[in-house]
Amino acid sequence: MHRKLDPPPLDAVLGSANAVAAGRLAGDGPAGRLPVTPEMLREEPSGNVFGLTQNVGMGWSPTALEGPQYVIVSTHGGLRGEDGRPVALGYHTGHWEIGLLVRAAAETLRAAGAIPFAAYCSDPCDGRTQGTTGMFDSLPYRNDAAVVMRRLIRSLPTASGMMGVATCDKGLPATMLALAGCRDLPGVVVPGGVTLPAVGAEDAGQVQSLGARFARDLVSLDYAATMGCRACGSSGGGCQFLGTAATSQVVAEALGLALPHSALAPSGEPAWLELGPRSAFALLRLHALGIPIERILTQHALENAMLVHAAFGGSTNLLLHIPAIAHAAGLRPPTVDDWIRVNRATPRLVDALPNGPRGHPTVQVFMAGGVPEVMLHLRRMGLLHGDVLTATGDTLDATLDWWETSDRRREARARLAAGAAVSPDDVIMGPDAARSAGMTGTVVFPVGNLAPEGAVVKATAMDPSVVGADQVYRHRGPARVFVDERDAIRAVKGTTERPIRAGDVIVLIGNGPSGTGMQETAQITTALRYLPWGKHVALLTDGRFSGFSSGACVGHIGPEALQGGPIGRVRDDDLLEIVINRGTLTGSVNLVGAAGVPLDAAACAALLAQREVHPGLAPHPALPADTRLWAALQRASGGTWAGCVYDVDRIVAALEAGTSGLTEAASPKLHA
List, by residue number, the catalytic residues: 546
Beta strands in 209-322 (DSSP E): none
Nearest to 171 by CA among 196, 197, 188, 189: 189
Q: How many Å apart are CA 211 and CA 221, to the nearest integer?
A: 10
Helix H or strand E segment including 301: helix 299-312
* Residues composing the chain: 672
Q: Are 403 and 370 in contact (CB under 8 A)?
A: no
- Residues 418-449 as b or e (16 or more Cβ within 10 Å = b): eebebebebbbbebebbeebebbbbbbbbbbb
Which residues share a beta bridge with 360? 352
> What percentage of the chain's residues is helix, strand, coil (to nearest 5)?
45, 15, 40
Measured distance between the N- and C-terminal CA atoms of the chain, rounded to whole angstroms: 73
Q: How many Å apart are CA 230 and CA 215, to the nearest integer?
A: 20
Q: 89: alpha, beta or left, given left = phi > 0 and alpha = psi -120 to 50?
A: beta
Strand order in the sheet with 472-482: 443-444, 454-458, 553-558, 538-541, 505-508, 472-482, 575-581, 586-594, 597-598
Q: How many Å apart are CA 291 and CA 287, to the nearest integer?
A: 6
Parallel, antiparallel or unpaired: strands 187-191 and 159-166: parallel
Q: Are 566 and 557 in contact (CB under 8 A)?
A: no
Q: How many Å apart are CA 67 and CA 61, to the nearest integer?
A: 12
Q: Are 515 and 613 in contact (CB under 8 A)?
A: no
Q: How many Å apart are CA 18 and CA 33, to the nearest integer?
A: 36
Helix H or strand E segment including 663: helix 648-666
Q: Cα angle at 305 between 301 and 308, to 5 degrees?
A: 135
DSSP-derived letter for residue 44 is: S
Cα 143 to Cα 173, 448, 557: the distances in Å are 9, 30, 21
Beta strands in 453-583 (DSSP E): 454-458, 472-482, 505-508, 538-541, 553-558, 575-581
Parallel, antiparallel or unpaired: strands 115-120 and 69-74: parallel
Q: Are 514 and 533 in contact (CB under 8 A)?
A: no
Q: How many Å apart are CA 123 and CA 119, to the nearest integer?
A: 13
Backbone phi, psi, residue 184, to 5°: -85, 0
Q: Are 524 and 488 in contact (CB under 8 A)?
A: yes
DSSP letter string, 405-469: T-HHHHHHHHHHHHHH---HHHHB--HHHHHHTT---SEE--BBTTBTTEEEEEGGGS-GGGS-T
Parallel, antiparallel or unpaired: strands 586-594 and 575-581: antiparallel
Identify the three-state secondary structure at position 7: coil
Please name the residue ranges forming H helices in 44-165.
46-57, 93-96, 98-111, 126-129, 138-154
